[in-house]
Each structure stands twice: as C-alpha cells, then as structure tokens.
A = this chain, B = another copy of it.
Amino acid sequence: MSDTPATPPRPQIPDVLAQRYASRAMLAVWSPEGRIVSERRLWVAVMKAQAALGVEIPPEAIAAYEAVLEQVDLADIEARERVLRHDVKARIESYNAAAGHEQIHKGLTSRDLTDNVEQVQVRRSLVLLREKTAAALLQLAARAVEHAATPIVGRTHHVPAQPTTLGKRLAMFGETLLRGFERLDDALERYPLRGIKGAVGTRLDQLTLLDGTEGTPGTGGEAKAGSASERLDGLERGIAAELGFSRVLGAVGQIYPRALDFEVLSALYQTGAGLSDFATGMRLMTGHELVSEGFLEGQVGSSAMPHKMNARSCERINGFHTVLAGYLQMTERLAGGQWNEGDVACSVVRRVALPGGMFALDGALETFLTVLGEMQVHGAVIAREVRAQLPFLATTTLLMEGVKAGGGRETLHGIIRDHAVAVARGLHEGSLAKNDLAERLGDDAAFPLDRREVLAVLGDPARFLGDAPAQAKGFMTALAPLRKRFPAAEHYRPEPIL
C-alpha cells in the first residue's frame, strides 16, 4: 500500500484508567510491549519444550528468536495486521521477519497463544491486587484499633439508633473487604492454565507433531495415544509451571471457558464492594462533618468554594466500583454463551474488560490507601453529636431496664414511643429547645424508672457501646495470619494520586 504514508496518523487516545489511576506495576502488565514480550516468551518456551520432545527445531533458530525477543516494533505489526486482517498472524510474521526463521507457533492455533498469554496477564494482575488488598485490610484494621473506643452515633436508615464506635464502624467495612479478599485469593489459587490444546482442544496438532519422534508412535487413536498424551501432559505442565500456574484445564475447546473471566471479575467486584462500603460511609460522615479526607498543601476543595473539604477521593472509589460493575457485565455476558469449540465474539470484550477491571480495582485500592493515610477524624464534632443524641440513643437500653424492672415490653415500648415522638416533633417544629426525653420518662408514673434512675443510665456512656470496642480490635486479631503471609503489606504506600 504505497499511499499509506499519505494518510495522517490516527489521533492517540490514552486509556483513561491506565493514564490517570492505575499503578505502574499494573501498567507494566498490560502495556502493548509487555504483552508482546510475554507472547514471545511463550513461543520460545514452547519451541524449547517441543525440541526436547524430539521436534526438529534448529538450536540456532531458537537462539535467533531469543536475540530479538524484546525488539518489539508495534508499527510493523499494525501494518501487517491491516493487510492480513488477523492479529496473531501479523505478530508471527513480524517476529519471523526479525529473527529470519519460520519456526515459531508450530502446532499452535491462535488461541493456544492468545489465551495462555492473557491468562498470564490476568494471573500477574491478581497477584498484585491480592497483595494490595492485604495492605488495605491491615491498614484499615490499624485505623479501627486506633478508634476502637471512640463513641459515635450509630445510624440505621441514616437515623440515629444506638451508639457504636468509629473503630467498629471501620471494622464493619473491613468485614466486607475481607470477604472480597477471600474470593480474590480463591480465584487466584485455583486459576488454571488452558494449556496447548490446539484448534478445537483435542491437542491433535501437538500429537501429530510428536508422532514418531520417540517411543510409542502417537497416532492419536485412543488405544495408542497413551504415551504421546503423557508426553503432552508433561509439556503442558512444564509450560504451566514456568508461567506460575499449578492447574491445567482438561477438556476445553479452542478457548478456556469464559466463565473463568466472570469468576475473576466477580471477585474484583466483590473486593471493590468493601472499598465502596467504606467510601459511602466516609461520604455520609463527611456530610455530618465527623471526618474528612484531609487536604494536602496546595490542594483546594473547589475552584468556586475554596474551603470545602470534599470527599472527592471517596466519591472516586464509589465511581471505580461502578466502573467495575460495567466490566463485570461484559464478562458476565460471555459466560454461558460459547458457540461449539469457540469463537471470537469475546475478543473485543476481553480486550476492554480484562485490563479495565484490573485498572479499576487497582485505582480503587490506591485511592483507598491514600484516603486511609490522610483521613482526619473530627473528635470534637463526633463527641458533640453523641451528646446531643444520647437520650434517643438510650431508648433501647431504657426499654430493657424497664423490662427488667418489671414492665411489659409492649406497654413500655408504647410509653417510650409517645414521649420520644413528642420530643422529636418539638425539636423539629422549634417548640422545644432541648431534648428532655430523659426527664419526661423519669416523671411518667407509668414508667418503672424514676428520673434519677433514668439519668443514671444516661450517665454511664460506656455501657451503650456494647461489644463495639472489642469487635474493632477483634478485626485486627483476625488478620494475624494475613499479616504473616504478606509481611510487606502493612508498609505499602500508594503512589501519589491525581
């Protein structure tokens, strides 16, 4: 195509998640060059394994391929692909041209290559994310312990309910995150390699290649296939081990089952749910000025309203979770929809969703760790709110005390309700300046406790916290095995975020 030079170059648009949010370590897994180098490593590994099994491949060819392994010429590949309309073919030819041989990709179909390479990328990403999630858990637990005994107004339906502690609330978010970690860990530990299964998964081409090379001729018939199959099993296990996998799939088609991508993305999404619960909680607390994300020097809250301490990073964490939902959706639709031994309706989907999902959770974790490091707890505001709400917060306890003092549960419930509603209405309408619920209850003859007894109940704040302090600390205790397994996680520091 001699006139190609005249075509102006296409505008370059960077992947926004990669550019703005993902960490460098994650970018290195998914950059175009990084991918091609991985692919070439696979080709070389397969050639070596084939040669060891007797396939005739000159050692000097292997050496030539290895010599140019990292010389990736993306422009050359793209030009070839535009003619061939086949991406793998383009990369084969580009590598062949660079090495001066035609020995790679023997007995491989495109998916022998692409699926295995992509699984390597997925696996490396999961390793990074698991470690970073461990960091998130440990650093969250440290905050939970720090504020284990800080009383705060517990809310259900977003309305004051009973006291809890800030540390326990943080631990509560941690419970969801911990569960996400377990899913991530599971998904990674049993993540299997597809292996070199050939065009329709029968390993025919490899068997043909090996036929007659040594030992029993592997003609592929069931009766005789034994030893050739065994040698192939060895070949697959060898490649898997070199790439870091402990399991190899069995009866697959051209591709590994796409439900596996759904499994991975659903684990990412579930991990993100823990971060998102935290972020939602932070945003709600920010609305009551109980906490803030903190300001760095030079940062402003808003171009129009300079003083605002917005929970922008937490909003972003929620945003990442929504983004994850989109990528989950993409892989979700691939699961269960394979046609026969495979197709490429999943190709563009996985090009988008796999790196996208990894970048999004990576960005969410980086942001989460940043917020955790910089968050400010407004102790004075928190304490003020607890004091103001205490009479309402104590109603459950007063009800229990009343029952113990001999009242009927439903009857006392009615008494408390009537006074509490009246007080709430008075405050809402402005007819009441101060919450006098305690006094009203003490003065009501139908209520078993007198004013002194009621005030005594209110005067012992620690009794309203229940198990909260212990639960906050217990969360850290439960992470002991995790800390041991990921010793660096506690000290991981996120990259500066935008």
Q: Are A156 and B200 in contact (CB under 8 A)?
A: yes
Check: A119 CB closer than 8 A to any chain B CB: no
Cβ contact within 8 Å between A395 and B306: yes
**In the complex, are the beta carbons of B356 and A222 less than 8 A apart?**
no
Q: In chain A, residues 147-164, which have Cβ atoms closer than 8 Å to a Cβ of chain B?
A: 148-149, 154-164
A284 at the interface (CB under 8 A from B): yes
A306 to B241, CA, bound (A): 32
- Residue pair B304, A469 in contact (C-beta under 8 Å): no
- In whole angstroms, what is the CA distance A168 to B197 when docked? 13
The answer on a CB contact under 8 Å between A220 and B463 is yes
In contact, B430 and A380 (Cβ under 8 angstroms): yes
A sample of 5 inter-chain contacts (CB < 8 A) reads A96-B410, A306-B417, A322-B349, A323-B352, A383-B430
Complex: A396 Cα to B470 Cα, angstroms: 46
Q: CA separation between A498 and B319, bound complex, in Å? A: 33
Please pick, from B300, B356, B380, the residue contacting A417 in the complex, using a CB distance under 8 A.
B300
The answer to whether A470 touches B222, judged by C-beta atoms less than 8 angstroms apart, is: yes
Does A369 count as interface, using CB distance less than 8 angstroms?
no
**Considering the complex of A and B, which 4 residue pairs feature the smallest CB-CB distances, nearest first?**
A307-B420, A380-B430, A276-B336, A202-B466
| One of A36-44, A65-73, A324-332 contacting the partner | A324-332
Among the listed stretches A126-134, A397-405, A486-494, which one makes contact with chain B, having 4 or more residues with CB under 8 Å of it? A397-405
Which residues of B sit under 8 angstroms from A85, Cβ to Cβ?
A: 296, 299, 312, 497-498
Chain B residues whose C-beta falls within 8 Å of the C-beta of A417 in the assembled complex: 300-301, 306-307
* Interface assignment of A348: CB less than 8 Å from any CB of chain B: yes
Q: Which of chain B's residues have a CB closer than 8 A to the CB of A309?
A: 159, 421, 424
Minimum CB–CB distance for A96 against chain B, Å = 8
Q: Which residue of B lies closest to A56 (CB)?
A: B404
A238 within 8 A of B: no
Q: With A17-B352, A183-B263 given, is the CB distance from A164 to B292 under 8 Å?
A: no
A312 / chain B contacts, CB cutoff of 8 Å = 85, 157, 344
A181–B377 Cα distance when bound, in Å, is 44
Q: For A161, list chain B residues within 8 Å (CB).
A: 199-200, 254, 302, 305, 308, 341
Separation of A440 and B478 alpha carbons in the complex (Å) = 49
Find out whether the CB atom of B252 lies under 8 angstroms from the CB atom of A159. Answer: no
* CB contact between A469 and one of B208, B222, B413, B414 (< 8 Å): that residue: B222
From B16, B299, B348, contact of A320 by CB (8 A): B348
From B13, B149, B212, B330, A30 is in contact (CB under 8 Å) with B13
| Count of chain copies | 4
CB neighbours of A149 from chain B (8 A): 222
Please give, as numbers and ranges, the residues of chain B lying within 8 Å of A30 by CB-CB distance. 13
Contacts of A28 in B (CB 8 A): 11
Chain B residue contacts of A284, Cβ below 8 A: 158, 287, 339-340
A252 to B468, CA, bound (A): 10
Decide if A24 is an interface residue (CB 8 Å cutoff). Answer: yes
For the complex formed, measure the closest distance between the CB of A87 and the CB atoms of chain B, giving whole angstroms. 7
For A395, the chain B residues whose CB sits under 8 A away are: 305-307
Closest CB in chain B relative to A191 CB, distance in Å? 11
Are A345 and B319 in contact, CB atoms less than 8 angstroms apart?
Answer: yes
Q: Are B352 and A16 in contact (CB under 8 A)?
A: yes
A143: interface (CB < 8 Å): no
Q: Are A14 and B16 in contact (CB under 8 A)?
A: no
Given contacts A252-B175, A396-B205, contact A340 B158 (CB under 8 A): yes
Is there a chain B Cβ closer than 8 Å to A92's Cβ? yes
Residue pair B84, A310 in contact (C-beta under 8 Å)? no
Asked whether, in the complex, the Cβ of B330 is within 8 Å of the Cβ of A174, the reply is: no
Of A251, A252, A349, most buried by chain B (CB within 10 Å of CB) is A251
Within the complex, what minimum Cβ distance (angstroms) separates A91 from chain B?
10
User: What 4 new A-B contacts, CB under 8 Å, besides A180-B259, A222-B462?
Assistant: A13-B30, A86-B300, A262-B270, A310-B344
Closest to A186 in B: B186
Tell me the A211-237 residues at the B interface (CB within 8 Å).
211-212, 219-222, 225, 229, 232
